[in-house]
């Protein structure tokens, strides 16, 4: 019996999936447990194994195409089996035994029998019936409604002609013309290139809009004297093996995790009906990739040694850049650090990664003239950090106390580096 391969849900924030590329072609043999396709999620591109052994009879969702979660993307079975029959049975089972469902799309709503109504009402009913019979994803419907696009004018590029969000967003002319941009935002088509949105970019856009529109942000900035910490690091890494070396970013993760242990109210999240305060620090460390930003998580950072944090950071960054992060590698963070110091950025504010209550933006270290306690002018190695806080969870005084502790740890590293 043929097996229908579904679009898997590979992350807790994944709303739809995309096929990055098939590793096998139609007609080729596949084996259970052997990767057969690369799936692009909202966080990374991951290999997905074949659910059955046999022949890859039909690829329903091709390379670079998207579809809803749990929708059929391929059929595996014997070469002579009818793939469409397998898909029909799949959808019939999904619908609770009905044999009417044949399209790999949302449930089709049948038109109600016509009643004796005025001509205008009959026309409206006809339009509604036509819209109901369209094969269109829920996300594409929502985007079309926002853009004022008539879905009856859109040519679907999804499985069996299904309209997906890409079709609506790429539509030019026709109904889309009703949504006009201000003249200052317009440009000739010859001067513009339409860049397709990756699943990661779509998710970044959705989550950051969610964060800025729901979480009331406020920002606290402090300047840190990095001289003692940098001197300690230089002296230490000269004495240890290559595997034990650590970066300034590793030090920041270590010190922030210890400061969070003293201020658990910062290591919290807004949950609607309550505030969740966490007993462990699962530190998200933002990593920039060509496709967007991903935040792998160093679990139990407050309980790891500095060397262990450095090793875990290296491992996660490599997995992120190779596109091999697994869901457990980037989910469940309780606090995030975004470090743009290596890019020469002196100071910036970061957007909170919901449902976390705070994120720390770290700038570069620069020689800065300061007035000492003796009234003398001196040059210190200074770094600015900015804490973005969700005011529903954190008050200004609480954020300030956290930064005060962090400043103490940075400027007197021996007070913290060997904490239990």
- Please report which confidence band the pLDDT of residue 20 belongs to, taking 50, 70 and 90 as the band edges: confident
Residue among 217, 282, 300, 391 flagged as catalytic: 391
Cα–Cα dist 271/56, whole Å? 44
**358 or 418, greater pLDDT:** 358
The C-alpha atoms of residue 8 and residue 22 are separated, in whole angstroms, by 14
Please name the fold of domain 3-94.
Answer: OB fold (Dihydrolipoamide Acetyltransferase, E2P) (2.40.50)
Residue 155 predicted with pLDDT over 60: yes
Instruction: Show the DSSP H helices in 64-198 as ranges.
Output: 83-94, 119-133, 138-147, 165-169
Is a pLDDT exceeding 60 seen at residue 176? no
187 pLDDT tier (thresholds 50, 70, 90): low
What's the pLDDT tens digit per position in 243-291?
Answer: 999 999 999 999 999 999 999 999 999 998 999 999 999 999 998 887 7
* CATH 4.10.320.10 in the chain, residue ranges: 119-179
Q: What is the pLDDT of residues 383-394, one digit of tens each?
A: 999 999 999 999
pLDDT at res. 138: 67
Report the pLDDT averaged over residues 48-55: 89
Is pLDDT above 90 for 362?
A: yes
- Give the Cα separation of 220 and 360 in Å (integer): 10
Q: HSE of 95 in the Cβ direction (CA atoms, 13 Å)?
A: 19
The pLDDT of residue 108 is: 28
**Is the N-terminal amide bond of 50 cis, ω within 30° of 0?**
no
pTM over 0.75: no
Element (H, E) at 398: helix 396-411
Q: Average pLDDT of 171-177?
A: 43
Residue 391 annotated in active site: yes
Q: Identify the pLDDT of residue 95.
A: 76
Count CB neighbours of 372 within 10 A. Answer: 9
Instruction: Note the pLDDT tens digit of each residue in 61-120.
Output: 999 888 888 899 999 988 888 899 888 888 888 876 544 334 443 332 233 333 333 443
Q: Minimum mean pLDDT among 7-11, 70-74, 142-146, 318-322: which range? A: 142-146
Greater confidence, 161 or 405? 405
Q: Is 50 exceeded by the pLDDT of residue 241?
A: yes
Pairing of strands 45-49, 35-40: antiparallel
pLDDT for 182: 44
Share of residues in the chain with pLDDT > 70 (%):
83
Question: CA distances (Å), 159 to each of 2, 162, 328, in order?
Answer: 18, 6, 30
Superfamily of the domain at 119-179: E3-binding domain (4.10.320.10)
Q: What pLDDT sits at residue 208?
A: 81
Which pLDDT score, from 0 to 100, does residue 121 have?
Answer: 39
Residues of the chain with CATH 2.40.50.100: 3-94
Bridge partners of 359? 336, 388
pLDDT number for residue 417: 57
CATH architecture of 215-415: 2-Layer Sandwich (3.30)
CATH 3.30.559.10 residue spans of the chain: 215-415
């Amino acid at each position: 019996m043929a097996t229908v391969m579904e679009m898997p849900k590979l992350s807790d924030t994944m709303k739809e999936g995309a096929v990055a590329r098939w590793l096998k072609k139609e007609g080729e043999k596949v084996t259970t447990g052997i990767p057969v396709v690369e799936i692009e999620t909202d966080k990374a591109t991951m290999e997905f194994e074949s659910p059955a052994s046999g022949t890859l009879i039909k690829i329903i969702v091709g390379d670079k195409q998207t579809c809803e979660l749990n929708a059929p993307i391929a059929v595996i079975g014997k070469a002579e089996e009818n793939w469409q029959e397998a898909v029909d049975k799949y959808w019939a089972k999904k619908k609770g035994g009905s044999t009417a469902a044949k399209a790999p799309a949302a449930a089709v709503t049948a038109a109600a029998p016509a009643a004796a109504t005025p001509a205008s009402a009959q026309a409206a009913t006809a339009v509604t019936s036509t819209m109901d019979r369209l094969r269109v994803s829920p996300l594409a419907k929502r985007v079309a409604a926002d853009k004022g696009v008539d879905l009856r004018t859109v040519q679907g590029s999804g499985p069996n002609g299904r309209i997906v969000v890409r079709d609506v967003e790429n539509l030019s002319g026709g109904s889309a013309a009703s949504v006009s941009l201000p003249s200052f935002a317009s440009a000739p088509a010859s001067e513009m290139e339409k860049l397709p949105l990756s699943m990661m970019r779509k998710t970044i856009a959705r989550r950051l809009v969610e964060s800025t529109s729901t979480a009331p942000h406020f920002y606290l900035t402090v300047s840190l004297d990095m001289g003692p910490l940098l001197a300690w690091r230089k002296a230490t890494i000269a004495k240890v093996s290559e595997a034990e070396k650590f970066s300034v970013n590793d030090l920041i993760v270590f010190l922030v995790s210890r400061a969070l242990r003293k201020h658990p109210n910062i290591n919290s999240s807004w949950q609607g009906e309550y505030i969740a305060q966490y007993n462990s620090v699962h530190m998200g460390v933002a990593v920039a990739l060509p496709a967007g930003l991903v935040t792998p998580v160093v679990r139990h950072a407050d309980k790891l040694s500095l060397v262990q944090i450095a090793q875990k950071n290296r491992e996660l960054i490599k997995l992120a850049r190779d596109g091999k992060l697994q869901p457990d590698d980037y989910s469940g963070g309780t606090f995030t650090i975004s470090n743009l110091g290596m890019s020469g950025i002196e100071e910036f504010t970061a957007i909170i990664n919901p449902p976390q209550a705070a994120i720390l933006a770290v700038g570069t270290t620069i020689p800065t003239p300061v007035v000492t306690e003796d009234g003398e002018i001196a040059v210190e190695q200074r770094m600015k950090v900015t804490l973005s806080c969700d005011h529903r969870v954190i008050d200004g005084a609480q954020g300030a106390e956290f930064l005060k502790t962090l400043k103490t740890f940075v400027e007197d590293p021996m007070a913290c580096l060997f904490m239990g």
